[in-house]
Amino acid sequence: MSDQPVDYHPMWDELGLDLPSHDALLEAVGQLYGDAYLTQEDRPKGMDYLDFVVSEVHGLRIKELDDFRKTGGKVFGTFCLYVPEEIIRAAGGWSVGLCSGAEFAYDQVEQIMPRNTCALIKSFMGFKLAKVCPYLESADLVIGETTCDGKKKAYELLGELHNTWVMELPQMKREQDVALWKAEVRELLKKAEELTGNTVTAESLRAAIKEVNDKRCALQRIAAACTADPAPISGKDRLLATQVAFYDDVPRFTQMMNALADELEGRVASGEGVAPKGAKRVLVTGTPMALPNWKIHDIIEKAGAVVVGEEMCTGSRYYQDLVPEDGDTVDEMVDAIAEKYLGINCACFTPNKGRTDDVIRLAKAYGADGVIDLSLQFCGLYEMESHGIETAVREAGLPVLKITTDYSMEDAGQLSTRVEAFLEML
């Protein structure tokens, strides 16, 4: 970590970014981060690493991707949890999550897609149209997936502007669906081999499974520390760790997150927390919160509660399950990967009872006093599931607050009032 400021403008220019718009985006994210993160007290020291990563989010990491590509490496951009990182890494590629967590260039987006599209989709199209995302511009291939209708159709539009390839994700989990998904994962493997020029071997796939499992285990340790009261880390900081997991260097991130987990376990042992013992504890469930979307966590924690867990793709859905490491052949391991990924409980599946079970299980495990169910506006999937989640959580004896929002801060005041009233009631 160097203190020397580096001017990355030539690199961004080479990637084809619109420099004035990109400068404006970086400035806005910096302000948001300062307000949401750097105002927190008693943060674990291990968060210094994530502060550094965010300060270099479009700098050092992009330089690493750039250096990798200049030596022939290939970068794969992904938008969804179902795209298996293990396959990409086994072929020698790097996978980066394309964040889509900020409102940008909606005026341009709304010329090519309906205004009533969810913020996440509008965000990635806005980043593309305005040329402000160096991760997207560094991606040799973007891998989409047939999850919700909005994304599925948006990939057609994105495909006109960027090299894009779409995996077909079934929407049920019957035997024939598992077979279809296994075939899709095999197609991805072929595609990754074709793009990188490398062959996936049993050794490379086994190593990739292990590396990604290790990353998930580090995040599991951080999550487990939050079963303690007082919680040793804020929900915002934990959320950031999961957001960064999607694009940071895998072994380095794992090492730093294990160091953070060591520190958190020490804090738990000595009863040290980020909020007083007995502070209200909230589990958040719903649509993912892509970087730099920290809005709801920020509102909840500024109101004095602690977010102790997330049943979402930027949370437990990302790290709770591992791929078995005992496969012998590429075929066996590909099957195991496909099965693990199909076990993720996204609302694009029907039925999706596994998600409800997860919410109740996690609320109990983390000692939550209440659940906040969050949907991005115009996300039919999560808005539709909201009723079932509410009913199940209430039956389990816990209060629920349903929130539908987007990335703008226009409703922040109103949401704060609702969250404060909810916390009062807990």
Applying CB under 6 A, the residues found at the interface with ligand BJ8 are 80-82, 118, 120-121, 147-148, 150-151, 287-288, 313, 344, 346, 348, 376, 379, 381-382
Residue 118 DSSP class: -
Beta-sheet pairing, 306-311 with 281-286: parallel
User: Which residue is it, tokens 């009863």?
Assistant: 271
Residue 366 DSSP class: T
| Of residues 278, 314, 285, the one with CA closest to residue 79 | 314
Read off the tokens for 84: 């298996």
| Alpha-carbon span 390 to 401, nearest angstrom | 8
Amino acid at 171: Q
Supply the minimum distance, in Å, between the C-beta of residue 148 and ligand BJ8.
Answer: 3
Residue with Cβ nearer ligand BJ8 (267 or 317) = 317
| Alpha-carbon span 262 to 141, nearest angstrom | 37
Produce one character per residue of 391-407: b if its CB has 16 or more CB atoms within 10 Å, e if not: ebbeeeebbbbbbbbbb
Supply the minimum distance, in Å, between the C-beta of residue 141 and ligand BJ8.
Answer: 18
Residue with Cβ nearer ligand BJ8 (284 or 305) = 284
Helical axes 295-302 vs 412-425, angle rounded to 10°: 50
3-class state of residue 225 by DSSP:
helix
Supply the minimum distance, in Å, between the C-beta of residue 110 and ligand BJ8.
Answer: 16
Supply the minimum distance, in Å, between the C-beta of residue 171 and ligand BJ8.
Answer: 11
Question: What is the side-by-side order of every strand in the sheet holding 94-97?
Answer: 94-97, 75-78, 141-145, 164-167
Residue with Cβ nearer ligand BJ8 (288 or 327) = 288
Residue with Cβ nearer ligand BJ8 (229 or 383) = 383
Supply the minimum distance, in Å, between the C-beta of residue 106 and ligand BJ8.
Answer: 14
Supply the minimum distance, in Å, between the C-beta of residue 314 and ligand BJ8.
Answer: 8
Residue with Cβ nearer ligand BJ8 (223 or 342) = 342
Whether residue 281 contacts residue 367, with contact meaning beta carbons closer than 8 Å, is answered with yes
From residue 400, give the alpha-carbon distance in Å to each of 386, 389, 423: 10, 9, 10
| Alpha-carbon span 286 to 400, nearest angstrom | 12
Supply the minimum distance, in Å, between the C-beta of residue 378 and ligand BJ8.
Answer: 7
Residue with Cβ nearer ligand BJ8 (12 or 79) = 79
Residue with Cβ nearer ligand BJ8 (150 or 370) = 150
